[in-house]
Amino acid sequence: MSQRSCLSVILAAGEGTRMKSAMPKVLHAIAGLPMVAHVVKAAEAARATGLALVIGHGADEMRKAVQKFAPKAETFVQEKRLGTAHAVLAAREAIAKGYDDILVMFGDTPLIDAAALAAARQKLAEGAAVAVIGFRPPSPTGYGRLIEKGGRLVAIREEKDCSEAEKKIGFCNAGMMAVAGNQALRLLDKVGNNNAKGEFYLTDIVELAGADGLDVVATEASFESALGINNRAELAEAEAIWQARRRRDAMLAGVTLIAPETVYFSHDTEIGADTIVEPHVWFGPGVKIASGAKIHAFSHIEGATIASNCDVGPFARLRPGADLRQKAKVGNFCEVKQATIEEGAKVNHLTYIGDARVGAGANIGAGTITCNYDGFSKFFTDIGEGAFVGSNSALVAPVTIGKGGYVASGSVITESVPDDALAFGRARQKTLPGKGKELRERFASAAAAKKRAAE
């Protein structure tokens, strides 16, 4: 089968009115990735060599989105919604190119397993003209039943048309199928619309192929893999299934999740073995974590790279561009953005580091901030190796703290500090004995007078 070419036709033209959204349904995300992009990834994993997306509602928005996750895909617009067979034929130009296999998929089934697609393709390689993907839901009510005789699929029967015996069949139509490329257009063109809705149904090709003496079979996918998304409740259910799968994969790969059900991964999260993740951690897109890191509870991480044996959190926020080198520490209530924290450096408490470099072994005291933005432009702060920045300091960029430099606590640093220098950027303290008592008495007298005046 590896030598067979394959076109995946993904139907993504539905309006998705039950989503109650101005955005096309298939662009709603699972694990930070549009659900249709999950379908594309499954098709690619099943070795589809061509992609054709049939779009409709929000066509311009869809094209822009498709460029991000499937730049080589062809898009075709279904101008009128006249049924699933009509939708597939919108991609006639692509189908006509002569692929060996045609996979018909739906953009709102983000959990489809690539193995189920590959199994359907294998049936084509063995000589079948059509391979329909079925599944066994907990209750078959509402689903079309797959009617088999002698190991062949003879019909897909909608529930309203089923006999009492057929209603007891638990093997149901998932909607997806594989069709031999040399038969696809001929069968699709034979589909009629002599039905109550006047639509062209893809399922009709089962009986059409059978009538021509062609081999039609059914393969089976898991219920979860065939789950279609029609509303936001089902979107949340799919998210939960995806997350459960990903958590299990992570743990089997050597990652410790203290409370797995509270950890949320993104579609592209990379996390190394022997990493420990405490409860309530959220990974956004673009996170790469090497082995042996420890991510403490309630941390929020996106677009960040974390090297081996780093320590993050609790309650840390790593934003895009955060780059933590080996054994770096970013502690509680700290935020790092577009900044490198070099080997062994510590940013321990209540600190913001943005557009900066913190050199190896440097220590950043509690309450320190890099003042990187003047309302118009961003500026860089460079903190050298082994530097020490005292608590509650403000580093006004652009500024450099040299190697081994020392910034006294409470300083506002507006000029660069040379290597090994000590910098004070604060007003000199002045103590006036007795003046505290005098000030309190004056404030108390003024407050009493104001109260009397109000009475």
**Active-site positions?**
349
Query: Going by DSSP bridges, is the β-strand pair 422-423/406-407 parallel, antiparallel, or unpaired?
Result: parallel
Residue 247, SS3? helix
Radius of gyration (Cα) for the chain, nearest Å?
31
Q: Which two tokens stand for residue 376?
A: 């118009």
| Pairwise CA distance, residues 305 & 325, whole Å | 8
| Pairwise CA distance, residues 105 & 128, whole Å | 18
Q: Which two tokens stand for residue 15?
A: 């309006």
Asked if 372 contacts 398 with a C-beta cutoff of 8 angstroms, the reply is no
Q: 323 forms bridges with which residues in the sheet?
A: 305, 340
Supply the DSSP string of 162-200, one letter for each residue: --HHHHT---EEEEEEEEEHHHHHHHHHH----STT---
Task: Give the contacts of 351 (CB within 8 A, at least 6 positions apart).
Answer: 333, 334, 335, 364, 365, 366, 367, 368, 369
| Pairwise CA distance, residues 210 & 385, whole Å | 75
| Pairwise CA distance, residues 172 & 157, whole Å | 9
| Pairwise CA distance, residues 145 & 200, whole Å | 18
End-to-end Cα spacing for the chain: 93
Task: Give the contacts of 404 (CB within 8 A, at least 6 positions apart).
Answer: 384, 385, 386, 387, 419, 420
Asked if 169 contacts 155 with a C-beta cutoff of 8 angstroms, the reply is no
| Pairwise CA distance, residues 330 & 324, whole Å | 8
Residue 242, SS3? helix
The whole-angstrom distance between residue 399's C-alpha and the CA centroid of its chain comes to 37
Residue 244 CB coordination number (10 Å): 13
Tokens 């294998």 belong to 122
Locate the DSSP E strands across 26-126: 29-30, 33-34, 50-55, 74-77, 101-106
